[in-house]
């Protein structure tokens, strides 16, 4: 606990999973769902990814946005369907969306999008997801035969690398300690998931 909360280890570890590259134009922007509330409201990482994808679309990086993500608990409230609803409420045209509502995990999303990409003869997509998830997601999409370019949502990739110093090493507030604990949990989950995906042959 002391190592996690009182050292920048979690901050460094998250960077081993995050992928980044200069943005390039592509045939589509793919945004991966990351959960919705039981009432269907979009929040947290799903909302961050959606907003970033719509920003890239508005800036002209691709002519269409593909939203993917089912909902194993409430199938009628799919992550992608709720993202599309929010985008419509923000004034975006429905003909600019492709909504995939069945895939429930990253490997399934990769295969589902691969089918859409082949059917529409697309060459490349910008894959919008969170930094820690980006490495596994890119590997899964490449395994499915999709040329995916990273489109990560978090400015952690653009920030300077953590510099040693007492003000960085010690979590002087509960908020910073909790932040590092959460970050460590995300890193642990992703490395376990990478092992599982490798074992299953999904990456």
Share of the chain above pLDDT 90, in %: 49
**Per-residue model confidence (pLDDT) at position 172:** 61
Of the pLDDT bands very low, low, confident and very high (cuts 50, 70, 90), residue 30 is: very high
The candidate with the shortest Cα–Cα distance to 99, out of 120, 80, 117, is 80
Number of domains in the chain: 2
Same domain, 105 and 186: no
Question: Per-residue pLDDT tens for 72-107?
Answer: 788 888 888 888 999 999 999 989 999 998 998 999
DSSP annotation string for 118-147:
HHTT---EEEEE-HHHHHHHHHHHHHTT--
C-alpha dihedral (100, 41, 129, 160), degrees to nearest 10? 170
**Per-residue model confidence (pLDDT) at position 170:** 60
Same domain, 28 and 117: yes
What does the pLDDT average to over 108-137? 94
Of the pLDDT bands very low, low, confident and very high (cuts 50, 70, 90), residue 178 is: confident
**Per-residue model confidence (pLDDT) at position 159:** 44
Domain hosting residue 175, numbered range: 1-18+165-203
Same domain, 80 and 145: yes
Same domain, 139 and 201: no
- 27 vs 163, which has greater pLDDT? 27
**Per-residue model confidence (pLDDT) at position 44:** 82
pLDDT at 47 over 80: yes
Same domain, 77 and 95: yes
Same domain, 130 and 194: no
Q: Which residues of 85-106 are buried (b: 16+ CB within 10 A; e: fewer)?
A: ebbeeeebeeeebbbbbebbeb
pTM, two decimals, is 0.84
pLDDT at 34 over 70: yes
The candidate with the shortest Cα–Cα distance to 134, out of 150, 114, 112, is 150
């Amino acid at each position: 606990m002391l190592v996690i909360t009182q050292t920048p280890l979690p901050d460094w570890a998250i960077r081993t999973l995050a992928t980044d590259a200069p943005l390039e134009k592509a045939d589509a922007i793919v945004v991966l769902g990351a959960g919705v509330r039981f009432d269907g409201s979009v929040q947290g990482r799903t909302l961050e990814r959606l907003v970033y994808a719509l920003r890239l679309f508005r800036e002209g990086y691709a002519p269409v946005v593909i939203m993917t993500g089912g909902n194993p608990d409430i199938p009628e409230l799919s992550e992608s369907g709720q993202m599309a609803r929010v985008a419509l409420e923000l004034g975006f045209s429905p003909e600019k969306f492709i909504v995939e509502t069945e895939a429930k995990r990253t490997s399934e999303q990769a295969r589902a999008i691969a089918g859409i990409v082949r059917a529409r003869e697309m060459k490349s997509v910008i894959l919008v997801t969170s930094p820690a998830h980006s490495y596994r997601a890119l590997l899964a999409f490449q395994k499915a035969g999709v040329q995916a370019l990273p489109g990560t949502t978090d400015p952690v990739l653009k920030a300077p690398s953590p510099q040693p110093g007492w003000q960085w090493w010690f979590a002087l507030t509960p908020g910073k300690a909790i932040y590092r604990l959460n970050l460590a949990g995300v890193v642990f989950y992703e490395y376990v998931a990478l092992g599982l995906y490798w074992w299953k042959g999904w990456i």
